[in-house]
Structure 1
Amino acid sequence: MSPSPLISAAELHDLFEMGRGPVVLDVRFELHTGSDRAGYEAGHIPNAQFVDLDTELAGVPGSDGRHPLPDTETFVAAMRGAGVSDDSSVVVYDAGPATAAARAWWLLRYNGHRDVRVLDGGLAQWTAAGFPIGTEPSIVAAGSFTARPPLARVLEVDDVLEFAQHNVLIDARAAERFRGEVEPVDPVAGHIPGAVNRPTTENVDSDGRFLAPEVLDGAFGGLVPTGKDVAVYCGSGVTAAHQILALELLGIDAALYPGSWSGWITDPTRPRA
């Protein structure tokens, strides 16, 4: 069985105590305000490097959505600047439920890096355990990260409708956004025809930690029939990675539609439900 893509605060602290600390990336981000560098500067896991989701884990907004995938050169430069090399063990975290950290986890895997885990419960669990917080800038030597063949999959926009007809396309947004009752971010409400809804908020407990695999399995069981391929989208391709991480815990390899709803609606000829 593959190693878990998650690591607990206690496990991470133990690695530091043993002198085997991984490269740690702080990916704090808020949907309405963007990347949270100020939060990082106010306090972070010691030696963690801040990674800007808006500029380093995403490209320029446009026809491919609000957070299109970054070009390879941009992502490689960001990882090297944060001290990541090809043989690095990497841990990524955000403020809590991993909705932003999962984007970094997915991108590292998409660029061929296998040894990456998400801090379960994020900084909230680290601080709740009483582990130290740093405020000084962390200086690291540049890494030698290179992009290699992907360990994660994408669903191209031209294949989305056919995929939804024959497989399982999961919309990871809140149920009211899926139904088109509200749309606080994008100019058009609704969802991609044929998609089913499973909000990412249902993947974690009240502490922001992922539910046990057996609980997740029960929740996803009715959505993912045996033998069907799975792909996920959200508003802009960020929180969908959280859904992919939850499915990974169940041994299900799901693809990401990177453009997601914000990219889908840039073409008015594409159908909407």
Structure 2
Amino acid sequence: MNLKRTFKNIALISTLITSMLTLSACSNKENEKPEASEVKTKVISTEELKTNVDKDDWIVVDTRLNDSYNGWTLNGEKRGGHIPQAVDFSYNWLKVEDKNKDKILKEALKNKGIEKDKNIVLYDTDGKSSNEVASYLNENGYKNLYTYDIDQWAEDKNLPLEKYENYKMIVPAKVVKEVVDGKKPETFEKAKNVKIVEASWGEETESYKKGHIPTSVHINTDTVEPPPTWMLASDKDLAKFAKDYGFTKDDTIIVTGAEPMASYRVATVLRYIGVNDVRVLNGGSDSWVSAGYELETKSNPKTQGADFKATIPANPDLIDTIPELKEKLKDDKFTLVDNRMWDEYIGKISGYSYHKKKGRIPGAVYGYAGTEGSTSLNYYRNIDKTMRNANEIKDLWKKCGIDTNNQLAFMCGSGWRAAEVLTYANVMGYDKTSLYSDGWIGWSTDSSNPTETGEPK
């Protein structure tokens, strides 16, 4: 399958890069970062921040890891989350190797309203992250820079902090490391039978062999979407999948991998069959290496089980079939969100070398995806492959006329991109959601299903 081969090549390249980064790492300390030249900034007090945070000529920027902004407490803060109205611009983005990094970061500054004529407050917990972002901004002509210690805000329980309702669904590398080390980190206090798996296409792919999160067991995505159609496996086959890996509904499963999209696809299937607590490593394996942790190369065998402890699928409403989708499309309170490229949506291209049919499902609303083909999702990700700011995602949906009060079903070509977007929607707190798993390929394979091309009226 050419799409799967593309992902395999991407995973191999990503693994080679992360392996090089691992070899150059000199420490496993989470907070160890490259030294940045000191930039002259003004330290702002909590009272000053409270006075200015609502003003149009001020902007507050969270420079910590994206996970801290989402809600995780990673550096000893009294409370997790971000200051209301703050935007995010992580120091970690500055470390990413990408030929288009300068363009991507400047576009992020623009989207977030971080402008040169504003007073910019950069906050973190130790001054290091803020200094790195301040150095970058200073090099690009930003002068009105302030720094702030978020600990001061967090210590005052009367000051609000915001976190995503279901932030625990996407997990930081530091928390996964604590799980690997046998600890019970935040939100895992009551977790039973924590298992770590690695999702990628192929039988123990090169990406898995060359490096994966320690203790993780490989899952070939073909197991849950078998060839030659690569549609969702039957309930009978999914029950066998659960038994082969010893999964039960009471497990807590963390899905990892070099390409997060594959992780989200498998995670959604695990939720569908009925595993109660499924999470994904935010940013994939790159986030693990960036944190200074080593990948493991030995193969970890799966352990067969007996009783899933529930009838599969135990969460059938999470995934829509074609007959179910046809019924839902008749409802004004339902929106089918098409997470493909615009050229796929209007029928200019199919998006897949192995599927020639072009167009869209009548009634589907364009919902953005990526700009680099069917394996990209940059409208929903930061440069380090972590989840994009929820307010920016909601702005995308607003531009498309997507009413988040409706029941939302997400779709793409075959379910990979849409599974990631679905999870982000759930992290944000939207629970009237589902995945139309068969996507455009499943719909258009049946010539009796109606299709459209061209720009919608």
Shorter-chain TM-score: which interval? Answer: 0.7 to 0.9
**AA at the equivalent of 1:119:** L
Candidates 394, 409, 427, aligned match of 1:249: 427
Superposed displacement of residue 210, structure 1: 0.3
**AA at the equivalent of 2:282:** D
Where does residue 116 of structure 1 map in the other structure?
278
Candidates 171, 178, 181, aligned match of 1:17: 181
Q: Is the 8 A contact 1:86 1:145 kept in 2?
A: no
Where does residue 72 of structure 1 map in the other structure?
235
SS at match of 2:293: coil
- The 5 A counterparts of 1:41-190 are 41-54=209-222, 56-61=223-228, 66-96=229-259, 98-144=260-306, 146=308, 147-148=310-311, 149-150=314-315, 152-161=317-326, 163-164=328-329, 166=332, 167-185=334-352, 186-190=355-359
Per the alignment, do residues 35 and 268 of structure 1 end up closer, same or farther by CA in structure 2, a change over 3 Å counting?
farther
**AA at the equivalent of 1:123:** S
**AA at the equivalent of 2:448:** T
Q: Is the 8 A contact 2:249 2:274 kept in 1?
A: no
1:86-140 CA deviation, whole Å, 9 max, x = no partner? Answer: 33211002214x2111111111111111111011100111112221211111135
Where does residue 234 of structure 1 map in the other structure?
412
- Residues of 2 paired with 1:151 and 1:126: CA distance? 33
- Residues of 2 paired with 1:118 and 1:111: CA distance? 16
Higher RCO (CA 8 Å, separation ≥ 6 residues)? 1
- Residues of 1 paired with 2:176 and 2:391: CA distance? 24
Q: Is the 8 A contact 1:86 1:144 kept in 2?
A: no
More helix by share: 2
Check if 1:209 corresponds to 2:386.
yes
Where does residue 188 of structure 2 map in the other structure?
none
**AA at the equivalent of 2:449:** R
- Residues of 1 paired with 2:256 and 2:278: CA distance? 11
SS at match of 1:25: strand
Q: Is the 8 A contact 2:412 2:439 kept in 1?
A: yes
Q: Is the 8 A contact 1:59 1:71 kept in 2?
A: no
Superposed displacement of residue 80, structure 1: 3.7
- Residues of 1 paired with 2:249 and 2:426: CA distance? 22
- Residues of 2 paired with 1:73 and 1:163: CA distance? 26
Runs of 4+ in 1 over 6 A off after TM superposition: none
Superposed displacement of residue 153, structure 1: 2.2
Superposed displacement of residue 5, structure 1: 1.2
Give the number of aligned pairs.
263
Gaps of 5+ in 2: 1-164, 185-192, 370-376, 453-457
Per the alignment, do residues 81 and 47 of structure 1 end up closer, same or farther by CA in structure 2, a change over 3 Å counting?
farther
* Bigger Rg over Cα: 2
Q: Is the 8 A contact 1:216 1:246 kept in 2?
A: no
Where does residue 5 of structure 1 map in the other structure?
169
Q: Is the 8 A contact 2:251 2:276 kept in 1?
A: no
Q: Is the 8 A contact 1:23 1:83 kept in 2?
A: no
Superposed displacement of residue 79, structure 1: 3.3
Gaps of 5+ in 1: none
Per the alignment, do residues 76 and 269 of structure 1 end up closer, same or farther by CA in structure 2, a change over 3 Å counting?
closer
TM-score, length-normalised on structure 2?
0.53
- Residues of 2 paired with 1:4 and 1:218: CA distance? 23
Check if 1:195 corresponds to 2:367.
no
Q: Is the 8 A contact 1:35 1:53 kept in 2?
A: no
Per the alignment, do residues 260 and 80 of structure 1 end up closer, same or farther by CA in structure 2, a change over 3 Å counting?
same
Q: What root-mean-square deviation, in Å, do the aligned CA atoms of Structure 1 and Structure 2 show?
A: 2.4
Superposed displacement of residue 169, structure 1: 0.6
Where does residue 113 of structure 2 map in the other structure?
none
**AA at the equivalent of 1:85:** T
1:150-188 CA deviation, whole Å, 9 max, x = no partner? Answer: 164233313434533522111111222112122241211
Greater Cα shift, 199-208 or 152-161: 152-161
Q: Is the 8 A contact 2:342 2:366 kept in 1?
A: yes
Q: Is the 8 A contact 1:106 1:152 kept in 2?
A: no
TM-score, length-normalised on structure 1?
0.86
Per the alignment, do residues 127 and 143 of structure 1 end up closer, same or farther by CA in structure 2, a change over 3 Å counting?
farther
- Residues of 2 paired with 1:35 and 1:173: CA distance? 28
